Amino acid sequence: MKRFGARILHAAFVLWAVATLTFLLFRLMPGDPTLNFLSDSFSEEMRADLLQSFGLDKPLPEQYLIYLTSLLRGDLGVSFLQKRPVLDILMAALPNTAALTITALVIAYVFGIIAGAFLAFARGTVTEGIAIPAALITRAAPEFWLGMLLLSWLSFAWGIFPSGGANVAGSEFTSEWARMTSPDFLWHLVLPALTLALYLQGLPLLLMRATMLEVLNDEFIVMARMKGLSRWAIVMRHAARNALLPVATAFALGLGSSFGGNVVIETVFSWPGLGRVLVSAVQGADYPLAQGAFIMIAAVLVLMNMVADLLYAWLDPRVSVGARR
Amino acid sequence: MPGASAVARRPVLPGFVRATLGFLRSQPFAIAGLAIYLLFIVMAIFADQIATHDPREILFRGAYRVARYLPPSATHYLGTTAGGRDVFSQLVHGSRSALKVGVTAAFFVVVIGTLLGLLSGYLGGWVDRVIMRISDIILGLPFLPFVLVISALTRPGTTTLVASVALMLWPNTARVIRSQVLSLRERGWVEAARVTGCSTPRIIFVHIAPQVAPLAALYGSIAVGWAILTEASASFLGFGDPAAISWGLMLQDAFANQALSRGVWSWFVPPGICIVLLVLAGFLVSRGSEKLLFPKLGD
């Protein structure tokens, strides 16, 4: 339990440091954030008013204190351009990103684990000679390019899937849940999720294969074989269970990094998620929104890093938290 | 006798060349990777000779008609872009910026990561704590979003991209080097150097550094790929150097100009293949050298 607490404290420290770094980045960089926001017709007085309303007229330490306290209360400020609370905008985008990321990760890991375990038995065969380079290629390809290929092929050339967005324009739903379970939403989800899954499956596949190869040489496997257990039972009940350990950790880490890494895929498929909010906020110099989106993406990353560490320690009692990263 | 000349020639080769050749013969993956690197290096050096047109020149056909979306032909191997520029020539020149970004970013990742890893591992104490806390914080920053924010807040361009990639990637290298140094510093020969009065910098840089160099190189070859992928993604999202000719910008150009719906495969497929090959080369080289570095891991 003590280790558990220490890991949470560590995550809190990293979160604080990231929040501070974000504050400094957005304040100290050259350029006046209001310049992009104001048109030439604004008077100096109106500009001062605006700065005041965003709290930008106060000295930096005071701004920092206000920033930290409002962050703790979950107040991320108001968007320059949309004039809506940043948190509302982010919360509207979050379910889309979560749906995309989780669907893609589940597909990628189910496929990767099965294919990886299978490949561990196919050592030295032609299958291995094709599958390993193929897995490496999907990891070397830019995600957005994979998306472009699938788009041009399955959407534009064959017209099977829609080319972008999360719902048909103008469609209305009684609730967020009704929207996300509608066939229309799921149909729009297929291509982006498939692209992301294609990009992500290489890691669990290679990881599963490598750990399986290691586990298969362990003594308890030899023991199981000597007991006369079938190959299938050995793989499923003994080997895979132990080989899954690093894969489970990678899953948690992948969840954290994909939330931010989705930026390009969401752009290719015009998927209304967090990454796209960030990109358009940064492009439009909407500083409160960009800052809020960045902090939210970073918070998910830090939390999932923590979960990965705890998961690893929980699954493998031999490891102490913090000893391994 | 074919064997005789080989035997006669062999002593001329310096030891490390022979070792490298022997290593390569046993590593088909590494050979493939190095061959790909070589291909792109040649392409980058002789880009002006290989390219059939000026990659920036807007081409015309007939009187004042911009040569848009031309299909592949003998004059335009891969056709032309929406702006009437030659795709093949852009592709060839794109290898320059890709290699530049990849190699400089990898250089800084290796130098910063190795230096901080050595100091952190050998000195320990508060130096170690500070360096490790900083690397913790950097690992808590989302990679691509951070690069985008930095590019937006400063001047977008290749320098900013390379700097932010180096800033984000050094912790991985530093951590691995550090753990290696932690075990090396307990070895007898380090103790011997200490007893004979070697200064701390001398022990770190003359005695320990060469031992961790292969590991650093491995992380460098992976960093090349990461930097190229990041440059492509940032360019695609509009945060690259707009004046440069890069594969990422070509893909952005194609995406923004309906190359997908028009089915202009010859425009958006080749730049992606080039990126895949160059990043893959880094993976292959590092997989090959992995076997040399960690024989136990080998498959």
ipTM comes to 0.82
Q: Which residue has the tokens 């995406």?
A: B255
Kindly indicate the confidence band of residue B277, based on its pLDDT and cuts at 50, 70 and 90: very high
Residue A104 pLDDT? 92
Residues B148 and A60: their CA atoms lie apart, in Å, by: 24
A52 sits in which H/E element: helix A44-53
- What are the b/e assignments for A132-166, b being 16+ CB within 10 Å? beebbbbbbbbbbbbbbbbbbbbbbeeeebbbbeb
Q: Six-digit token pair at B56?
A: 């920036």
Does A260 contact B143 at a Cβ distance shorter than 8 Å?
Answer: yes
CA distance A152 to chain B (A): 5
Any CB–CB contact under 8 A between B237 and chain A? yes
Over residues A47-58, the mean pLDDT reads 68
Does A144 contact B275 at a Cβ distance shorter than 8 Å?
Answer: no
Q: At what angle do helices B87-123 and B158-184 cross, to 10 degrees?
A: 40
Q: Which residues of B touch A282 (CB under 8 A)?
A: 148-149, 152
The SS3 of residue B65 is strand
The SS3 of residue B237 is coil
Whether residue A263 contacts residue B237, with contact meaning beta carbons closer than 8 Å, is answered with yes
C-alpha distances in Å from residue A196, one per residue of A190, A200, A261, B167: 10, 6, 10, 26
Of all residues in chain A, what percent carry a pLDDT higher than 70? Answer: 85
Residue A84 pLDDT? 85
For the purposes of burial, counting CB atoms within 10 Å of the CB of A66, is it exposed (0-12), middle (13-18) or buried (19 or more)? middle
Does B144 contact A261 at a Cβ distance shorter than 8 Å?
Answer: yes
Over residues B85-94, the mean pLDDT reads 84
Q: Which residues are bridge partners to A78 per DSSP?
A: A85
- What are the b/e assignments for B191-220, b being 16+ CB within 10 Å? eebeeeeeeeeebbeebbbeebeebbbbbb
Does B269 contact A149 at a Cβ distance shorter than 8 Å?
Answer: yes
Does B145 contact A297 at a Cβ distance shorter than 8 Å?
Answer: yes
Q: Six-digit token pair at B204?
A: 């770190």
Residues A61 and A56: their CA atoms lie apart, in Å, by: 11
Q: Which residues of A touch B238 (CB under 8 A)?
A: 283
Kindly indicate the confidence band of residue A190, based on its pLDDT and cuts at 50, 70 and 90: confident
Of A10, A14, A271, A38, nearest to A163 by C-alpha is A271
CA distance B232 to chain A (A): 8
Whether residue A245 contacts residue A312, with contact meaning beta carbons closer than 8 Å, is answered with yes
Does A21 contact B141 at a Cβ distance shorter than 8 Å?
Answer: yes
Over residues B78-85, the mean pLDDT reads 75
Nearest to A325 among B175, B275, B284 (CB): B175
Q: Which residue has the tokens 């707009």?
A: B242
Does the predicted model carry a pTM greater than 0.90? no
- Residue B293 pLDDT > 60: no
Nearest to B149 among A144, A275, A290 (CB): A290
CA distance B237 to chain A (A): 7
Kindly indicate the confidence band of residue A316, based on its pLDDT and cuts at 50, 70 and 90: low
Residues B47 and B49: their CA atoms lie apart, in Å, by: 5
Q: Which residue has the tokens 């919360």?
A: A91
- Residue B296 pLDDT > 60: no
Instruction: Count CA within 13 A, CB hemisphere, residue A259.
Output: 26
Does B142 contact A283 at a Cβ distance shorter than 8 Å?
Answer: no
Q: Which residue of chain B comes nearest to A255, CA vs CA? A: B142
Whether residue B52 contacts residue B77, with contact meaning beta carbons closer than 8 Å, is answered with yes
Q: Six-digit token pair at A242?
A: 């132990």
Nearest to B143 among A123, A261, A278 (CB): A261
Residue B130 pLDDT? 93
- Dmax (CA) of chain B: 83
Whether residue A290 contacts residue A3, with contact meaning beta carbons closer than 8 Å, is answered with no
Helices (H) and strands (E) counted in chain B, each on its own, are 14, 2
Does B148 contact A278 at a Cβ distance shorter than 8 Å?
Answer: yes
Q: Six-digit token pair at A105?
A: 């990760």
C-alpha distances in Å from residue A174, one per residue of A180, A181, A294, B254: 11, 12, 30, 39
Q: Which residue of chain A comes nearest to B286, CA vs CA? A: A136
Does B136 contact A18 at a Cβ distance shorter than 8 Å?
Answer: no
Residue B108 pLDDT? 93
Of A26-35, B37-46, B78-87, B113-122, the poorest mean pLDDT is in: A26-35
Any CB–CB contact under 8 A between B249 and chain A? no
Residue A108 pLDDT? 92
- Residue A219 pLDDT > 80: no
The pLDDT tens digits of the residues spanning A259-304 come to: 776 888 898 888 888 989 998 888 887 888 888 999 999 998 998 8
Of B214, B246, B218, nearest to B101 by C-alpha is B246
User: Nearest 5 degrees, angle CA A178-CA A188-CA A170?
Assistant: 60
Of A63-72, A263-272, B22-31, B140-149, the poorest mean pLDDT is in: B22-31
For the purposes of burial, counting CB atoms within 10 Å of the CB of B254, is it exposed (0-12), middle (13-18) or buried (19 or more)? buried
Q: What is the mean pLDDT of chain B?
A: 81
Residues B237 and A147: their CA atoms lie apart, in Å, by: 14
- Residue A312 pLDDT > 80: no
Over residues A67-76, the mean pLDDT reads 84
Of A267, A273, A274, A310, nearest to A295 by C-alpha is A274
Q: Which residue of chain A comes nearest to B144, CA vs CA? A: A261
Q: Which residues of B touch A264 (CB under 8 A)?
A: 144, 233, 236-237
- Residue B174 pLDDT > 70: yes
Q: Which residues of B touch A26 (CB under 8 A)?
A: 153
Nearest to B251 among A25, A29, A148 (CB): A148
Interface-testing mutation among A282, A297, A301, with chain B (most B C-beta atoms within 10 A): A282
Q: Which residues of B touch A289 (CB under 8 A)?
A: none
C-alpha distances in Å from residue B204, one per residue of B118, B133, B216, B246: 7, 22, 15, 40
SS (H, E, C) A202-269: HHHHHHHHHHHHHHHCCHHHHHHHHCCCCHHHHHHHHHHHHHHHHHHHHHHHHHHHHHHHCHHHHHHC
For chain B, the 3-state helix, strand and coil shares in percent, each to the nearest 5, are 75, 0, 25
Q: Which residues of A touch B145 (CB under 8 A)?
A: 260, 263, 275, 278, 293-294, 297-298
Q: Six-digit token pair at B149?
A: 């924010």
- Residue B270 pLDDT > 80: yes
- Residue A322 pLDDT > 50: no
Nearest to B137 among A18, A141, A260 (CB): A18
Q: Which residue of chain A comes nearest to B136, CA vs CA? A: A14
Of A125-129, A131-135, A280-284, the poorest mean pLDDT is in: A125-129
Over residues B76-105, the mean pLDDT reads 83
Whether residue B36 contacts residue B277, with contact meaning beta carbons closer than 8 Å, is answered with yes
Over residues A248-253, the mean pLDDT reads 83
User: Of how many residues is chain B composed?
Assistant: 299
Residue B69 pLDDT? 74
Residue B75 pLDDT? 75
